[in-house]
Amino acid sequence: MPLPAGHPFAGSGPYSLPCRAAPAAACNGDMQTEPQITQAPRLGRYQIDVSQSRVTFRTRHMFGLGPVRGTFAIRSGSVDIAEPLADSAIHAEIDTASFSTGNPQRDRSVRSARLLDADRYPVMSFRDGQVGADGRTVRGTLIVREVGRPVSLSIGQVTADERSFTASGTVRVDRTEFGVTAMRGLAGRYLDLTLEVRCVRR
């Protein structure tokens, strides 16, 4: 049965297009994909270009019946590419209040104290990110509402030039592991996140 117009979890706006259900994946985010590296980044420190980077997500609400897509904005971040690759380090901060699905009422609800509590916890962060020896994963700690949990991003496409590189990664997150437990069934439990970043050499 369709939801009435204006319901906070009714699909609307640019992110309401249908999407396929996400494939089953471990809650720690181990989604195995084959990275596509056209050119390896040069060694050194890089700054994430926040104007050319973003986090997109998809989830399902209303007990899994309705697809939802949205975005977060990356506030800041840095990447150190080292040799060996396992010594590389990644850090990023995400603006909690930037949560957006194109439905203002739903977005306010998710940003409120019941869920993300953006006023009290304005930043979500990914810390201590380290590239796996196989170059296919980045393992680190995701911190939401001051609760940290280990996650593993699967690296997607990587392209590089003399001064910059772009990369993508995917991870599945279980919001209840971070104490975000309100509105079970109405709001999706799992979020499939895709990070797309452009990093510029300092």
Q: Is 30's pLDDT higher than 50?
A: no
Q: Is 202's pLDDT higher than 90?
A: no
pLDDT of residue 60: 81
74: in domain = yes
Q: What is the pLDDT of residues 133-170, one digit of tens each?
A: 778 899 999 999 999 999 999 999 899 999 999 999 99
Q: What is the pTM of this model?
A: 0.77
8: in domain = no
Give the model's confidence band at 65: pLDDT under 50 very low, under 70 low, under 90 confident, else very high.
low
27: in domain = no
d(CA 184, CA 181): 7
Burial of 38 (0-12, 13-18, 19+ CB in 10 A): exposed
CB 183, CB 115: distance < 8 Å = yes
CB 171, CB 153: distance < 8 Å = yes
Q: Is 35's pLDDT higher than 70?
A: no
CB 123, CB 95: distance < 8 Å = yes
186: in domain = yes
143: in domain = yes
31: in domain = no
132: in domain = yes
Q: Is 57's pLDDT higher than 50?
A: yes
Range(s) of the domain holding residue 145 = 36-201
Task: Count how many domains the chain has.
Answer: 1
Three-state secondary-structure class, residue 31: coil
65 vs 1, higher pLDDT:
65
> Phi/psi of residue 84, each to 5°?
-70, 165
Which letter, b or e, does each residue of 114-133 get, where b requires 16 or more Cβ atoms within 10 Å of its Cβ?
Answer: ebbbbeebeebbbeebbbee
Q: What is the CATH number of the domain that holds 135?
A: 2.40.128.110
Q: Is 201's pLDDT higher than 60?
A: yes
21: in domain = no
Please list the residues that pair with 80 across neighbouring strands: 45, 89
Q: Is 177 left (phi over 0), alpha (psi -120 to 50) or beta?
A: alpha
DSSP summary character for residue 106: H
For the segment 92-114, the average pLDDT, to the nearest whole number, is 95
